[in-house]
Chains A and B, each alone.
Chain A
């Protein structure tokens, strides 16, 4: 190792171990160097053997938290761990440079990169902010020719990036793109065509431009290795005949998620050819105009479902024709996961279906099923672990078919619940408290009362007590999103009782800086904090100075921050990158009076300092 590498590694270790000053550059990079604070004799040649042993042992260690702990034991362990880590997870792509990744980890087979913060999903971030995959693919192409798996979330990926990926990794097996954008069907086509070992191609909730390329036809002829193909977010028609042929020659295919351009008749054809499927995205789930009608006999959909004996996961239903829904009945008892969240299903249609779904663990739906539908879920789905209820009409003004009634029913019926996301128009502290008491296994509680600052609709009081009960009673809670009318008291409770909370989402809540202080002076495990439109200002921000090095990121938009305090933080914490920008990407129109106001603050820790690809509208303090 060159001296430069050693000092780089030493810097990594210093950051992690908070050691005394790093070794001087004179130390030889052999196995016999001392740690700076140790007084034990230097290891002898048996250390070579020990490292080999360690290597073989560490191969079994998969959890990244365990591996992080292992790497902190000593330099020897750090090095061996680095050489044996095959799956690398990077929660913020700007927390380190690709070069550093390549230097530390030498045998990476799987890479998981996350880019933009979550609020970018809701148009709070101007486009072209960053999180480009390009520099990563460029570096890993050279460093890890044996790379097999790439998972990207909220990254900007271009067709060129995909082409480079396809060309650089001959053994490439799995590509998963979650909430990504920047590419189109041409990029997908290249991956399909060039990655001959491809097992998984999952495009999930990503924006895929329609380049009018028949990408399905680009899969090579002959038997494929495909096990999972998901393209339900692709908003363009596909060549169905080619898909059918692809399915026929993919004997290992277990997961197939089609998009809304696949009709029910077409779905039937696919199901008949792939009864081994375990996970099915059903496409439109309605009849196409061409096939149905006067000429044709209707296929027996129920029979096709019955033949899929291994089917455990259903999604799709993008343009559901409700009269066909009973066709899924033969598989209901086996389903562990159902996603109805694109289907406007009324309670009457829903209840007979859910009645048979005793084994469901994950259930996503629209609020069109109403409180009655939720009661039906509570009555049947005793194994429910995760529930997500999305609004059919996501505005602040709509009628609101679900309420505390449904929430309470779920809490009483589904005692094993671990994760919930619930959109509603109105809520009561009583219902939230009931859930806190009935569902002690909750790790994720995200309640979105869509009307801003809305109090308990029965008592008129703030929602402090409800959320307070959640943090007090749900001792395993790691993720919390709050809403409704909340005072600083709510945050005092969250700070005090939210001992395991790692992610906290706040919007339109709180009274003063104290709210933010309570969080930052409490919540010892906090890693990700996202706040919008709340009256938290400079004093609150400063109160967290001691925390920001240990957090992944803090996002604050439309709060009461001024540049001065943000600069102070940047100065005090060199390992934290402090970005400030506005919601529009025009860098003009800054009033003299308002020049000090910070519309969006996004700060995160980084090993490699400020990024070099920041667009003009971003100021790094």
Chain B
């Protein structure tokens, strides 16, 4: 993205834009000026003349970031976007967020945090090798990797056993263990918001929750190939092994 260059030439005539008239409630924030700091004198103010200085002092400095341009004073009806289009920044799901383009103007951590948008739900998909049916896990109801591992076992134990019924002998359900330490037949991995495939368990829990996009349970023997190759969906993975 190009940086915005502020070399605009402003006609001094614009200074006299202000009509003699009723005071409006909006004003132009000094720091949000589209002009250089040096041209502050020429800054356009859309309010009655003679009250300029007062306006500057009154402006709320509510957002303090390192950027030069903080939140501007609000102009009524500008930009001309209808109100129902205005709250997208707050209400939309964060799954599709292109983080580098979002600057909320608030604390820096907010842009990256994937908070549950609806009450009580941070659901991520989880697939398991050998099981055609995907499931969903609500991470917001978990506090640790052990708890997650337990849930995975609960979700897939029966399904896995059902898949194995087609093999030679009927097998009773075997618990799925060792997902986190590499000791079990299966290992839990995840894909993060940058598309990287990572073994589950290495980073602090809350960091994991904030970056995980989906989970996969793979065969422990396939760890190196699964994590190196970029793969599409679960089907491809099954075919490869």
- What is the interface of chain A, defined by CB distance below 8 A to chain B? 119, 121-124, 179, 205, 233, 286-287, 289, 292-294, 297-298, 319-323, 325, 341-349, 366, 368, 370-371, 390-401, 403, 405, 423, 425-426, 448, 450-455, 457-458, 460-461, 485, 487, 507-508, 511-512, 532-533, 535, 537, 558-560, 582-583, 589-591, 593-594, 597, 599
Say yes or no: A348-B98 contact (C-beta < 8 A), given A119-B77, A293-B123, A511-B11.
yes
CB nearest to A233 among chain B residues: B84
The CA-CA distance from A87 to B14 in the complex, in Å, is 47
Which residues of the partner chain A approach B72 to less than 8 Å between Cβ atoms? 395-397
CB nearest to B85 among chain A residues: A390
The CA-CA distance from A405 to B28 in the complex, in Å, is 29
Which residues of the partner chain A approach B206 to less than 8 Å between Cβ atoms? none
Q: Select A457's contact among B4, B32, B96, beta carbons within 8 Å.
A: B4
A558 touching B96 by the CB < 8 A rule?
no
The CA-CA distance from A319 to B120 in the complex, in Å, is 16
CB nearest to B119 among chain A residues: A289
The CA-CA distance from A44 to B205 in the complex, in Å, is 95
A344 touching B93 by the CB < 8 A rule?
yes
Q: Select B89's contact among A392, A448, A485, A559, beta carbons within 8 Å.
A: A392
Interface status of B134 (Cβ within 8 A of chain A): yes
A320 touching B95 by the CB < 8 A rule?
yes
A–B complex contacts, Cβ < 8 Å, 29 sampled: A122-B76, A122-B77, A122-B78, A287-B136, A289-B119, A289-B123, A293-B138, A294-B136, A298-B133, A319-B91, A342-B88, A344-B96, A390-B85, A392-B89, A392-B102, A393-B89, A393-B103, A394-B86, A396-B32, A397-B72, A399-B1, A399-B102, A425-B4, A454-B34, A457-B2, A460-B5, A460-B7, A511-B14, A597-B21
B79 touching A485 by the CB < 8 A rule?
no
Question: Dominant SS at the B interface?
Answer: loop
Say yes or no: A455-B69 contact (C-beta < 8 A), given A321-B93, A322-B95, A403-B1.
no
B120 touching A205 by the CB < 8 A rule?
no
The CA-CA distance from A454 to B72 in the complex, in Å, is 15
Interface status of B176 (Cβ within 8 A of chain A): no
Interface status of B71 (Cβ within 8 A of chain A): yes
The CA-CA distance from A514 to B102 in the complex, in Å, is 41
A558 touching B136 by the CB < 8 A rule?
no
The CA-CA distance from A104 to B1 in the complex, in Å, is 58
The CA-CA distance from A458 to B2 in the complex, in Å, is 10
Q: Output the least CB separation between A273 and chain B (Å).
A: 23
B13 touching A455 by the CB < 8 A rule?
no
The CA-CA distance from A84 to B72 in the complex, in Å, is 56
Q: Select B34's contact among A394, A448, A451, A507, beta carbons within 8 Å.
A: A451
Known contacts A454-B8, A508-B78, A599-B22; 7 further A-B pairs (Cβ under 8 A): A298-B136, A320-B96, A325-B96, A397-B72, A460-B8, A485-B8, A558-B19
Say yes or no: A455-B8 contact (C-beta < 8 A), given A293-B136, A322-B93, A599-B21.
yes
Q: Select A397's contact among B70, B118, B119, B137, beta carbons within 8 Å.
A: B70
Which residues of the partner chain A approach B235 to less than 8 Å between Cβ atoms? none
The CA-CA distance from A393 to B8 in the complex, in Å, is 23
Which residues of the partner chain A approach B91 to less than 8 Å between Cβ atoms? 319
Which residues of the partner chain A approach B19 to less than 8 Å between Cβ atoms? 537, 558-560, 597
A487 touching B11 by the CB < 8 A rule?
yes
Q: Select A460's contact among B9, B13, B103, beta carbons within 8 Å.
A: B9
B82 touching A323 by the CB < 8 A rule?
no
Which residues of the partner chain B approach A297 to less than 8 Å between Cβ atoms? 133
B46 touching A558 by the CB < 8 A rule?
yes
B136 touching A368 by the CB < 8 A rule?
no
A394 touching B81 by the CB < 8 A rule?
yes
Say yes or no: A123-B77 contact (C-beta < 8 A), given A205-B84, A342-B88, A394-B86.
yes
Which residues of the partner chain B approach A558 to less than 8 Å between Cβ atoms? 19, 24, 46
The CA-CA distance from A179 to B82 in the complex, in Å, is 10
The 10 A-B pairs with the shortest beta carbon distances in the complex, nearest first, are: A122-B77, A346-B98, A597-B21, A322-B96, A455-B8, A289-B121, A394-B81, A322-B95, A460-B7, A560-B19
